[in-house]
Amino acid sequence: MIDKDALLKRFISYVTTYTESDPASDTTPSTECQWDLARQLRDELEAMGMTEVTIDENAYVMATLPSNVDYEVPVIGFVAHFDTTPDFTGKDVKPQIWENYDGGDLMLNKEQNIVLSPDYFEDLKQYKGQTIVTTDGTTLLGADDKAGITEIMEAMQYLLANPQVKHGKIRVGFTPDEEIGRGAHKFDVDKFGAAWAYTMDGSQIGELEYENFNAAGAVVTIEGKIVHPGYAKGKMVNSMYIATDYINSLPRLETPEHTSDREGFFHLHNIEGSVDSTKLEYIIRDHDKGHFEARKAMMVQLAGELNAQLEKELVTVEVKDQYFNMREKVEPVMHIVDIAEEAMKALDIEPLIKPIRGGTDGSQLSFMGLPCPNIFAGGHNFHGRYEYVPVESMMKAVEVIVKIAELTAQKKA
């Protein structure tokens, strides 16, 4: 059904195009390099015969596959992002293709002794005999989310070439800056014009997700006072010591490395400190809205308690919401999840319906009026040197897109 070689060639062309986003930038896209893949996608969509192909001033790419039935069918969409995370470099990606994986260690980089091992990454074991794509261990791969883009493009190519598969109007959309939380910020939902959509941005085969974290970012700033250490008694205020007290006042076991499933956390991901001033950057996550609000309030409360102890206003906290749990927007239209689940089962894929311990463009889009569950794209170990994707999982994702289109047309409006 799906041309494996064509899919792999397309995927390699995408991951070798540098598209890292930058949270310090205030432009959209946040980096100039993202335009390269955005324009490439526009050109490929036009070349394959898609209609209404557009790219706007912020690099959002959209296109239409026209309906091939003579009755009304809901317009559906598929969305993926083309940026890669700034957490680990995605520059000069050197993909390696491992045919007929034997189930053992993969030596990604002999010189640096970088090994992808099933002894540590147990999920690898389930892909024995398949084709695995990795890097040379010095960069991430970019399957997050160039696997999703590849799958959408291949599905559209297949539907164009196989008009016997009946479907309604399908919209596709590719976004910048998802990895820095801005992927949906300038997405024109009205222009997209779909009743609902699916992000192809999940991990292992079978994933189907319609709930995600409520998310916020917090910046804790501690002001100190620098004085010559030889004359510091009673005068110096070391902001780093106060920062340590703040860090230790938060629940130590409510961190990413100690939580799973729907358990929320506080995550300290960056520190910049000196005697004079220290800045702590946190992300706050929880699936439960009440617990989420309590976490934000706790961070502010702790600052107040420290200031009271110090008898000075030295600690300030700025909290900004980032996105919310899409569950409340998807549950009223659960048939869109049911269709995806039915599509997977029809293809002998076991649906893994679970909450996302993160967020996708879909979480924001759902609150913008476009309900948008998330479907697997096939990759593992995102945002690091051990990222990999089985090609067969990507092929199955293409089949899921096609089957969703077919089932939606069968159900009509």
List active site positions: 83, 178
Please spell the DSSP secondary structure of 46-89, one letter per residue.
Answer: HHHT-EEEEE-TT--EEEEE---SSS----EEEEEE--B-TTS-
Nearest to 353 by CA among 253, 209, 224: 209
Q: How far apart are CA 406 and CA 76, in angstroms?
A: 11
Nearest to 241 by CA among 296, 315, 173, 172: 315
Please spell the DSSP secondary structure of 285-337, one letter per residue.
Answer: EESSHHHHHHHHHHHHHHHHHHHHHHTS--EEEEEEEEE--THHHHGGGTHHH
125 token code pair: 């074991």
- For the chain, what is the largest distance between any 2 Cα atoms, rounded to a whole number of angstroms? 86
Query: Which amino acid is residue 384, in one-letter code?
Result: G
Contacts of 156 (CB under 8 A, 6+ apart): 45, 48, 50, 63, 65, 170, 172
162 burial (CB, 10 Å; 0-12 / 13-18 / 19+) is exposed
Query: Which amino acid is residue 93, in one-letter code?
Result: V
